Amino acid sequence: MSPLMWMFLSISWCLSASPILKSSWAGDDWPNSQTPYWLAWRYGSASFANTIDEALYWNRAWMLGQGRFYPIHWLESRIEFVYLREIWQYKIYQYSILILAGLLFCYLIKLLAGSDMLAALTLSMLCLTVQIRRGFDPHLAFAGMVPSMLIKVFLACIFIFLAATEENIKKARRYSFLSAIFYFLALSTYEFSFFLLPTILMCYQIGYDRRKTQNKKQNFKTWANEISLRIFDRTFKPVLFAWLGYGFLVFGVLRRIAKDVSGSYVLGISWKSIPVFISQIFTGIPNISIKFGDEMSTWFRESYPFIIISSIISMVIMFVFLQKLKTMKIEGSNDQLLDTKFFQSICILGITLVCAPGFMMSLQQSWWSRATVQNSYLGVLLTEFGSALLISISLINYRLWIRKITNLFLELKKS
Amino acid sequence: MKTRDITIAACIFCVLFAINLTNTIGLSVSTNGRNFQYNAWKELTRNTNFFDPVKNRDVMIAKSQDDSFEYNAGTFYVNTGTRLAYFYKSSVLLPNLENCKLTEECTLPSIREILASTLPNLNRVSSIQPSDIDKDWVVSNMQPGILDKINIWATDLVLLTPNDLITYLMRFDDTVTSTGLDTSSAQVLMFTNGEVTFSPSFNGVCLEKLSQLPAKTNKNWIITRWAIPKTGVSPNGSQVSIPRVVDYRSVEFGSCAK
């Protein structure tokens, strides 16, 4: 696909996320944005050394108090707030980091699938699945913690894929270590990435299959057996150790010595976990978080020129993109993906992203009886990215899906 | 795919995109609710001499003070250059304020005593070394006798209407009662987004306008300075006099006709 087409699709993505620039401080950003002023008051100035000290102070407090370990977030957020004091500076950073996470995700899909079509469609779908939420919103609040974590996870995925496809052992090891480092950094940014190990594993599996030129669909049992062995591959081991090391540090050490673990971080499971988990699966469906009514019409009236112009631009871009697909032969197009082994792995990658937030929330007692499709938490960004991928896979394979479903009905009718 | 199918797909995408964008814009803009207070505080502390009487190590208290927002000792220091010992929420230094009504026989504890016992809560240094006194402002303020002669100031940011924000500054005169305020030290300032449509009142007395000027950061804002008259008129026209010392618990702002 031409660079110009990629640029147009990126414009759509940038337009859809642009309202972030109109927002003010939100959520935890209010108190945390006061950091430079507090540092100046306490120590006389908000120097770089004071900023790092402050980050480490809070990291230590959360380690010993709640048993949580996320120092990278403390460092990133304190530095952001100290050096980006004006709201417009901070919002440009927040906007950029989300845009970057989206583009990196599409690059990852392009790398894994070898398909411009799937990557481009995923980018288009992100414009619809990424929705700003009431309450806890990861897009315009919380110091860009979730996009930052996702960027590191995607980098870990890219490097493990490169490691898996690399014939040169030395180079493969180097990529593998880089992947483990980025994964550990992601874990130290936000613990949510603890549930994203399968995502990295799928990238490794896809790369492995690419190198061995194995892409014949297997039955689920054979495929699952192969995946469970793949975890212990020498090239994947650094990532596994990063995951195990972090798990041991948090659950084996910090949780035991933490003095004041609040209810939100006490994990448990009950029948109430099930509706929480199910409700969160659907949070990435386009427009699902929207409450239609008078408020929406007021919002539209207040900004309709921008909304109409942006939507028309996006419509034209989508039209041109679909026309291009019609005229150009793009690798990985219809009827190819569904019947390959790659399809199983990429679907698991998408499903992991969709399900991880709900899984985490279902284990937190504070969310039982509270979480709904419209009441989600910060991890919802993962669901939005995963949903964009799964919707794109479905759209690409729509003819094959229809054929398969029709055949299924015919068989049922016969029997 | 036929051109007709492509057109339909692009139109569906456009509608979903427009709905999502509307929602996204609406929710983003809804986070701007505090911007007026946020920017007014910045203007007040950076571009006016309103807080000139406040000196280093003084203490300020306000009912609406909130460390979670911009209304705190940190922004006060960076914007004015005056380093408070702390800027407290009044419920911290006067914990029983709400329960202790003016009409009831109820003695409030001394603010200075509570200050001495509360200040160490801000300390992060476990074993204090001599070098910490210069390095850490909280440690410095915890040294014996250092806060004995400071002034304690009452202030607040009160949103009278969505476009009118009033603030005042008065020194505590705790020689008589622990919550006495010296009205001779009073200053009142009002930020108005647009035209000034009313005069503010203090404890039922209409205030006298001293001056008016546009804000530096936002040309639509008008900053008006007001004085508390010794004898003035109430909103219903009767004569009322303000004593030199009023109780902090009685402080109340309202409006009079312009």
> Is A319 part of the contact surface with chain B (CB cutoff 8 Å)?
yes
Bridge partners of B199? B256
Q: Which of A179-193, B112-126, B174-188 has the lowest mean pLDDT?
A: B174-188
The alpha-carbon gap from B247 to the nearest alpha carbon of chain A, in Å, equals: 30
Mean pLDDT per 10-residue interval, chain A, length 415 residues: 90 96 94 95 95 96 93 97 96 97 96 88 96 92 96 98 94 97 97 95 93 79 88 95 96 90 80 93 94 92 95 94 74 58 89 95 88 90 96 82 79 82
> Which B residues in the span 91-150 are in contact with A, Cβ-Cβ below 8 Å?
124, 135-138
> Is B244 part of the contact surface with chain A (CB cutoff 8 Å)?
no
**Which residue has 């019609």 as its token pair?**
A326
Q: Where are the domains of chain A?
A: 3-33+85-414
What is the pLDDT averaged over residues B107-133?
87
> Which A residues in the span 227-286 are in contact with B, Cβ-Cβ below 8 Å?
286
At residue B92, the pLDDT reads 87
Is 0.95 exceeded by the ipTM?
no
> Is A398 part of the contact surface with chain B (CB cutoff 8 Å)?
no
Contact B23 A311 (CB under 8 A): no
B77: left (phi over 0), alpha (psi -120 to 50) or beta: alpha
pTM, rounded to two decimals: 0.91
At residue A223, the pLDDT reads 84
* Contacts A375 to B, Cβ<8 Å: none
At residue A404, the pLDDT reads 75
At residue A335, the pLDDT reads 52
Contact A19 B25 (CB under 8 A): yes
* pLDDT tens profile B199-233: 999 998 999 999 999 999 888 999 999 999 988 88
**CA–CA separation, B90 and B95 (whole Å):** 7
Among chain B residues, CA nearest to A308:
B18
* A·B CB contacts under 8 A: 161
At residue B5, the pLDDT reads 86
**CA–CA separation, A143 and A81 (whole Å):** 8
3-state SS, one letter per residue, for chain A: CCHHHHHHHHHHHHHHHHHHHHCCCCCCHHHHCCHHHHHHHHHCCCCHHHHHHHHHHHHHHHHHHHCCCCHHHHHHHHHHHHHCCCHHHHHHHHHHHHHHHHHHHHHHHHHHHCCHHHHHHHHHHHHHHCCCCCCCCCCCCHHHHHHHHHHHHHHHHHHHHHHHHCCCHHHHHHHHHHHHHHHHHHHCCCHHHHHHHHHHHHHHHHHHHHHCCCCECCCHHHHHHHHHHHCCCCCCHHHHHHHHHHHHHHHHHHHHHCCCCCHHHCECCCCCHHHHHHHHHHHHCCCCCCCCCHHHHHHHHHHHHHHHHHHHHHHHHHHHHHHHHHHCCCCCCCCCCCCEHHHHHHHHHHHHHHHHHHHHHHCEHHHCCCCECCECCCCHHHHHHHHHHHHHHHHHCHHHHHHHHHHHHHHHHHC
* Contacts A137 to B, Cβ<8 Å: 27
At residue B165, the pLDDT reads 95
By CB atoms closer than 10 A (0-12, 13-18, 19+), residue A151 is buried
The alpha-carbon gap from A308 to the nearest alpha carbon of chain B, in Å, equals: 7
* Contacts A316 to B, Cβ<8 Å: 10
- CA-closest candidate to residue A124, choices A398, A373, A395: A395
Q: Where are the domains of chain B?
A: 37-257
> Is A54 part of the contact surface with chain B (CB cutoff 8 Å)?
no
Contact B77 A41 (CB under 8 A): yes
* pLDDT above 90: residue B75: yes
Of residues B3 and B137, the one with the higher pLDDT is B137
> Is B242 part of the contact surface with chain A (CB cutoff 8 Å)?
no
B13 → closest Cβ in A44, A308, A314: A314
* Contacts B38 to A, Cβ<8 Å: 24
* pLDDT above 70: residue B22: yes
**CA–CA separation, A184 and A153 (whole Å):** 9
Percentage of chain B beyond pLDDT 90 is: 61
> Is B46 part of the contact surface with chain A (CB cutoff 8 Å)?
no
Among chain A residues, CA nearest to B82:
A41
* Contacts B83 to A, Cβ<8 Å: 41
Among chain B residues, CA nearest to A290:
B23
Max mean pLDDT among B110-114, B126-130, B188-192 falls in: B188-192
